[in-house]
Amino acid sequence: MAITVENNVFSLETENTLYQMKADAFGVLNHLWYGAKTGCCMDYLLDYPDVGFAGNIYEAGDLRTYSLNTLPLEYAAAGTGDFRIPAVSVTHEDGSSALDLRFKEYHIKKGKYGIPGLPAVYADENEAETLEIMLKDTASETEVILLYGVFSQADVITRSVIVKNRGNSPIVINRVHSLCLDMPYGDWEWIHFHGRHTMERQAERTSLIHGIQESSSTRGTSSHQQNPAVLLCERGCTETQGFCIGAALMYSGGFQTQVEKDQLDQVRVVMGINPDTFAWTLEAGGSFYAPEVILSCSGHGMGELSHHFHDIIRNHVCRGKYKLAKRPVLINNWEATYFDFDDKKIEKIAKQASELGIDMMVLDDGWFGKRDSDTSGLGDWFVNEEKIRGGLKSLVERINKMGMKFGIWFEPEMVSEDSGLFQKHPEWAIRIPGRNPMRSRYQLVLDMSNTEVVEYLYQVISKILKENNIEYVKWDMNRSICDWYTETLPKHRQMEMPHRYVLGLYELLERLTGEFPDVLFEGCSGGGGRFDAGMLYYCPQIWCSDDTDAHERTFIQYGTSFFYPISAVGSHVSAVPNHQTGRSTSIQTRGTVAMAGSFGYELDLNKLSSEEKAEIAAQVSVYKEYQSLIYNGLYYRLSNPHDDNMSVWAFVSEKKADVLVQGVVFRAASNTLRRRIRLSGLDTVAKYQNVKNGYVYTGQALMSGGILLPEIKGDDVSVEIHLKKIEL
């Protein structure tokens, strides 16, 4: 049994971890522990200091040391004496906002709970167990149901929350975080992932300051600027040693992660929908479902923690035919042509690609409506026969005849003012009556909270997918959202719209991915502006960044790798000088970096020299040889590009028999030693042979002494070492 309950102590055990909480004599649910399995009740760690200005619940009588403000709480509510960041806050009909949550009942169920309308980690009945704990505010009859999914094998716990209004009048939910985690002891640092368009998910590790630190988005998407994932590490925690906890929110809209270090040095983490762009009126009898958080911890460093997340996301979040299958190597025409193409140009690129072993041609932006630049056409999802002569079907057939699959780009959530759709339905674009809307990339956003919009998009997109042999869809989204207002809601409910937008998006994705399970959907938002576990439920890969520069990509892919599996990372070789940075790197370096993901090309192959084409043909076959190791092996970060002069990583097969070390050394240096890199995750007593030069090492030597990288001449030089375990 993964879940046990004894004397009101709830223990959630996975293979290596214990999560524990206790409903105390007052019915307050205390958080006791999240960490290594201890084999005992951790309530002896609870302390009751007499802290000035800490209030006491009424039933505590003269017990002035019993305070919600100092105890570790499992789910903290606002307004009743815990002055730290709350996980939940509501406004009642009378205008008051106290919520006094006390334990009422619990249920244990086989299998994993689901969440209506939202993506959630899934499992067979025997793979997971569910615990539901009901807390109640008796005065208002508000129930808060805490949901826990326990994945023993994976060392993962999921959390979600349902708020139920059992009273007679509506309440307004002002915030409802999916995670609340109190950590009264420990010297913690946090890692969050900040960035910008073309430079997403830059890992930043800092000490905690007293007070609140935050990583969040109010952009309507999870965003390029912050990512809904966070790591808490004990000081000194490395890739291979030390304790750390990770949390990733399965949500693609505005989110908030807050970490508070309080007056007693206790730490609280909350994570969920961003309350700055959220409020929800819950009618009497209604329920609200919060998105899910995936939680894991490791006593063996951040590498192992990443493995837990890669495993759960790949096996229990991603879905569809391509969930575990090898993805086709693709060629995308965006950086090759931008809007300047016709069917002949596309055919020519595809022809050349097919000769180099590439599997799929992806037709990017510009194939529909009046779309010769980014100023017009969005919303008109009908092929532009002036560019694609003979129509889409004919082009797809011509490409298929070359032995290639065909994929296509959509940006369903957007509309150009210069489009047929906008002419017909200006009211479908998000804007506030009486104000001009914000334009971004000249475009407006469709109101995805409106069921008519979702239905229209479903009809036009499914028609194209039904009529043509399309095996891949790139689902793009190229701006942040503001001007929140919808005609479909009364004025006092307008703050529901950002969340309803995400629900509409998920509904559309669910319908389309359900109806076309053999189509590979790749998520995209100007690159990686919506790279989150929510989108990965519908799209098993996401275009990682619009920055295709191999040097910068190593930083982006380094940050992305903390939570998201390598198969999820869409990654392409593009032309030099690179279109984003102007930097020129070798075709080998570009290939090595793009191979650490779901691989493809994004350049005009016809403009390359015969040597470069030969190199590409070789890369495609090397990638196909390693693809299974790259997807299914354990991924190890062997250096930190922010601190080291290189970015090096490795894939180690499940049985530790096959090892692929790849990376880029950034700057050459004269008169110095060769660089050394220590490997991870090998079989210590086994012998490993370098496939290229036949040299043999023990696993222990490779992990302790490391391996010398080849002598490097020049900047941004790639390295690749393939080792195989040998029986001697």
Catalytic residue numbers, as ranges = 532, 612
**Longest Cα separation, the chain:** 86
Q: Report the residue number, 334 or 531, with the smaller CB distance to ligand DGJ.
A: 334
Q: Which residue from 524, 489, 518, 522 is spatially nearest to 503, judged by alpha carbons? A: 489
- Cβ proximity of 201 and 118 under 8 Å: no
Q: Which is nearer to ligand DGJ, 69 or 548 (CB)?
A: 548
- Nearest residue (CB) to ligand DGJ, 303 versus 377: 377
Give me the least distance between CB of 565 and ligand DGJ, in Å please. 20
Q: Which residues pair with 67 in a beta bridge?
A: none
If the CB atoms of residues 364 and 380 are measured against ligand DGJ, the closer one turns out to be 364
Minimum distance from CB of 572 to ligand DGJ (Å)? 9
Q: How far apart are CA 362 and CA 333, in angstroms?
A: 7
List all residues 6 or more positions away from 619 whose beta carbon is below 8 Å from its beta carbon. Answer: 573, 587, 591, 595
| Residue with smallest beta-carbon separation from ligand DGJ | 365
Give the contacts of 336 (CB within 8 A, at least 6 positions apart): 349, 575, 602, 603, 604, 605
Tell me if 288 sits within 8 A of 135, measured CB to CB.
no
Residue 660 CB coordination number (10 Å): 23
> To the nearest whole angstrom, how small is the minimum distance from the Cβ of residue 546 to ligand DGJ?
5
Burial of 530 (0-12, 13-18, 19+ CB in 10 A): buried
Q: Interaction with ligand DGJ in 409-468: which residues (CB under 6 A)? A: 409
Dist CA 675 CA 646 (whole Å) = 9
CB-side neighbour CA atoms (13 Å) of 667: 6
Q: At what angle do helices 497-515 and 451-467 cross, to 10 degrees?
A: 20
C-alpha dihedral sign at 42, 48, 49, 54: positive
Minimum distance, C-beta of residue 340 to ligand DGJ, in the bound complex (Å): 13
Does residue number 317 form part of the binding site for ligand DGJ (CB under 6 A)? no
For residue 268, the SS3 value is strand
Q: Which stretch binds ligand DGJ (CB under 6 A): 44-52, 524-532, 639-647, 664-672?
A: 524-532
Q: How far apart are CA 371 and CA 647, in angstroms?
A: 39
Residues 6+ apart with CB under 8 A from 212: 85, 258, 259, 260
CA 404 to chain centre: 30
Nearest approach, Cβ of residue 717 and ligand DGJ (Å): 27
Question: Is 364 among the residues that bind ligand DGJ (CB under 6 A)?
Answer: yes
Among 334, 381, 516, 563, the residue binding ligand DGJ under the rule CB under 6 A is 334
82-90, 255-263, 523-531, 666-674 -> range binding ligand DGJ (CB under 6 A): 523-531
Contacts of 557 (CB under 8 A, 6+ apart): 544, 569, 571, 593, 596, 597
Exposure of 242 in the CB half-sphere (CA atoms within 13 A): 17
Which one, 337 or 449, has the nearer CB to ligand DGJ?
A: 337
543 binds ligand DGJ (CB under 6 A): yes
Find the shortest distance in angstroms from Cβ 441 to ligand DGJ. Answer: 8
Is residue 307 within a helix (H) or strand (E), and if so which, with residue range? helix 301-316
Q: Which run of H or E residues covers position 620?
A: helix 610-632
Q: Is 473 in the site for ligand DGJ (CB under 6 A)?
A: no
CB 472 within 8 A of CB 405: yes
Q: How far is the CB of 338 from ligand DGJ (least distance, A)?
A: 8
Shortest CB 472 distance to ligand DGJ, Å: 13
Q: Which lies closer to ligand DGJ via its Cβ, residue 439 or residue 492?
A: 439
CB of 590 to ligand DGJ, least distance (A): 16
Three-state DSSP at 227 gives: coil
Q: Which C-beta is closer to ligand DGJ: that of 526 or that of 681? A: 526
> For residue 708, what is the enclosing H or E element?
strand 707-708
Binding test (CB under 6 A) with ligand DGJ, winner from 526, 565, 681, 699: 526
Of 62-70, 110-118, 428-436, 519-527, which segment contacts ligand DGJ by CB under 6 A?
519-527
Nearer CB in complex with ligand DGJ: 333/585: 333
Q: Which residues from 249-288 bind ligand DGJ, rule CB under 6 A?
A: none
- Written as six digits, the tokens of 117 are 């309308």
524 interacts with ligand DGJ by CB under 6 A: yes
Phi, psi (5° rounding) for residue 310?
A: -60, -45
> Considering the complex, what minimum distance in angstroms separates the CB of residue 365 from ligand DGJ?
3
Check residue 476 for interaction with ligand DGJ (CB under 6 A).
yes
In angstroms, what is the minimal distance from the CB of 579 to ligand DGJ?
11
Q: Choose among 667, 621, 616: nearest CA to 644.
A: 667
> Judged by CB under 6 A, how many residues of this single chain contact ligand DGJ?
11
Q: Is 537 in the site for ligand DGJ (CB under 6 A)?
A: no
Give 201's contacts (C-beta < 8 A, 6+ positions apart): 193, 194, 195, 227, 528, 531, 556, 559, 560
Query: Which of 349/661 has CB closer to ligand DGJ?
Result: 349
Cα separation, 48 vs 102, in Å, equals 19
Region of 164-172, 322-330, 521-529, 532-540 interacting with ligand DGJ (CB under 6 A): 521-529
Q: CB 543 → ligand DGJ: shortest distance, Å?
A: 5
532 and 251 in contact (C-beta within 8 Å)? yes
- CA–CA separation, 268 vs 261, rounded Å? 7
Q: Which residues form the interface with ligand DGJ (CB under 6 A)?
A: 334, 364-365, 409, 476, 478, 524, 526-527, 543, 546
